[in-house]
Chain A
Amino acid sequence: MKSNTIVKGILYVALGLLVIISFIPFYMMIVNATRSNAEILQQGFTLLPGTALMDNYETLIQYMNLWRGFANSLFVAVMVTVLSSYFSALTAFGFAVYKFKGKNVLFVFMLLLMMVPGQLGLIGFYDLIRVMGLLDTYIPLIIPPIAAPFVVFFLRQYLMTVMHPSLLEAARIDGAGEIRIFHQIGFPMMMPAVATMAIFTFIGSWNNYILPLVVLFSPEKYTLPVMMGALRGSQVAENLGSMYLGIAISVVPIMVAFLFLSKYIISSISAGAVKE
């Protein structure tokens, strides 16, 4: 029994070390965001914050309006999440409730395409958007996610387990149309699964880099990740404190959101993995 306690002690120390490894890059980012360039260059490593936060902020904001990028990313991610959630639920309902010709073929086709890496069609996608005259707009970022095969798959599986046909029958006898049945019965019923997928859709859109990089040209339209990329080649890169601050501005809000949502996010990942 006693050796077990010692073993457990060692294991907790190892876990503590792993916690430090997971968190220290972010901690160093926050500390260095409050130090001046000279302090970082000359004084080296420290765990204590400095006093140059406001100076760093002024240097940073002079060259790049990160809050604009923040607002752009938020707009795109919210639109993507709303549209993708609604239309995926609609599609899942169509697949789960009705019997129609070609249903299984379409469903399997959709699942097969799910395995295809996202970059396969990048060149064609860019060309299509160019021909449509939609380059440097948010439309190529917001509309295509309406077709999210994995979300449809997940919602359909969910619907199959919670939906009772008798419920729909009762609504039909009461004279409700199919569209209304979807909005008043189907969608609310799928809500827990929709919320789960919405979180991942939002994060995916928020973090997306290659697509906005390819379609957006005007700096004032950049999403946050593209702005981060632009930060690297800008004047800000000469001031390490400002650079750290810029990165921190993009990272800290996600960390705060995670603080509130972590339980929910983690149980969603677990649920997603077991369903596979």
Chain B
Amino acid sequence: MKRLDKFGYIFIAPFFLVFITFTIYPILLTFYYSFTSYSGRGEAEFIGLANYARLLTDSYFYQAFYNTMYIWGINFFFQLGIALLLAILFSDIRLKMKGLGFFRAVFYLPNLITMASVALLFGILLGWHHGTINHLLLDLGIISQPINWLNDPTTARWSVGLIGAWMWFGHTFIILMAGISGISKDYFEAALIDGANRWQTLTRVTLPLLKPIMLYVLITSLIGGLQIFDLPMLITDGMGAPQGSLNTMVLYLYNQAFRFDNYGYAAAVAYGLFMITVLFSFITFKSMYRKNVKEG
């Protein structure tokens, strides 16, 4: 048997060769550049912690952080809210709702579509005088004047957040349903026999058992949400208009590097984003874990 074990190394070698070259080395190189004033050409001059000092006092970075969280917050609230309502509805053994397969497929569809195309589509659907959404709302009498959705910071952020929710609620719904079907039917039947009403079944059986999968949804959504780029990049001018309200952290990183040639500073932005991601994941894990211990 021993003689064959060298094949283990042979089989995993291509993976690690590529992994080290194209994933690990770039991460380390980025880390190095974050201490330099590299502009994409010539030598990178070492400037110590200057980029990080700049990051800590950069109001644009704080604004980008605020925008990212604002947009993600709206996105996550509606995404999880709708998905949870749907999951509760379709798992109710008294209601026996039909058509789960059909609804799941339709609700999931927006998630598959290229984000760049979605951004472009909503960019024109939300247009001011000629946007289809304004035309529709005017025809229905809901508004009397066309609203310039993408020209006001608040409506622009809400638009991007809601488009995100629209793209992701179906995905989250599928994951929650998978979590619920992983819960043994016996629990629900036992609750029914014991005379638990809907609310009791929901709060005492369904939600506690769904907690691990909701943690998974929260963390993956947060990590993805912190990296939002395609939508804010393509729905307005690519610089975060209106008034910097769509300037997210990755958009800021991209523009610093590839528009303004501040590769060194952009590298520090990348590590700032990374530290925020780690911190948030850690806090989420910790708080969920503590609650579990208390209740258990």
Partner-B contacts on A (CB < 8 A): 4, 7-8, 11-12, 15, 18-19, 21-23, 25-26, 28-29, 32, 40-41, 44-45, 87-88, 90-91, 93-95, 97-100, 103, 106, 110, 113, 115-128, 130, 140, 143-144, 146-147, 149, 152, 172, 178-179, 182, 203, 206-207, 209-210, 214, 224-226, 228-229, 231-232, 240, 243-244, 246-247, 250-251, 254-255, 258, 262-263, 265-266, 269-271, 273-274, 276
* Bound: A106/B229 CA distance, A: 31
Chain A residue with the shortest CB-CB distance to B32: A124
A131 nearest CB across to chain B (Å): 10
Convert B235-259 into 0s and 1s, putting 1 for each residue whose CB lies closer than 8 angstroms to a CB of A.
Answer: 0000000000000001001100110
Does chain A have a CB within 8 A of B77? no
Bin chain B's interface residue count. Answer: 35 or more
> Chain B residues near A8 (CB, 8 Å)?
95, 97
> Chain A residues near B14 (CB, 8 Å)?
87, 90-91, 146
A124 contacts B227, C-beta separation under 8 Å? no
A123 contacts B132, C-beta separation under 8 Å? no
Does chain A have a CB within 8 A of B91? no
> Chain B residues near A28 (CB, 8 Å)?
125, 132
Does chain A have a CB within 8 A of B105? yes
Chain A residue with the shortest CB-CB distance to B89: A11
> Chain B residues near A119 (CB, 8 Å)?
227, 229, 250, 253, 270, 273
Closest 9 CB pairs of A and B: A94-B11, A98-B8, A124-B29, A124-B26, A121-B26, A270-B178, A147-B19, A124-B30, A225-B116
B267 nearest CB across to chain A (Å): 5
* Bound: A215/B114 CA distance, A: 19
Does chain A have a CB within 8 A of B294? no
> Could you list some 29 contacts between A and B, CB below 8 A?
A7-B95, A22-B109, A25-B121, A44-B138, A44-B139, A95-B12, A100-B5, A122-B26, A122-B30, A123-B30, A127-B263, A128-B25, A130-B40, A143-B18, A144-B23, A178-B4, A178-B10, A179-B7, A229-B120, A232-B120, A246-B120, A247-B120, A247-B121, A251-B113, A258-B112, A266-B174, A273-B216, A274-B178, A274-B182
> Chain B residues near A124 (CB, 8 Å)?
25-33, 267
A194 nearest CB across to chain B (Å): 15
A258 contacts B109, C-beta separation under 8 Å? yes
> Chain A residues near B9 (CB, 8 Å)?
94, 100
> Chain B residues near A127 (CB, 8 Å)?
26, 29, 33, 38, 40, 263
* Bound: A103/B182 CA distance, A: 32
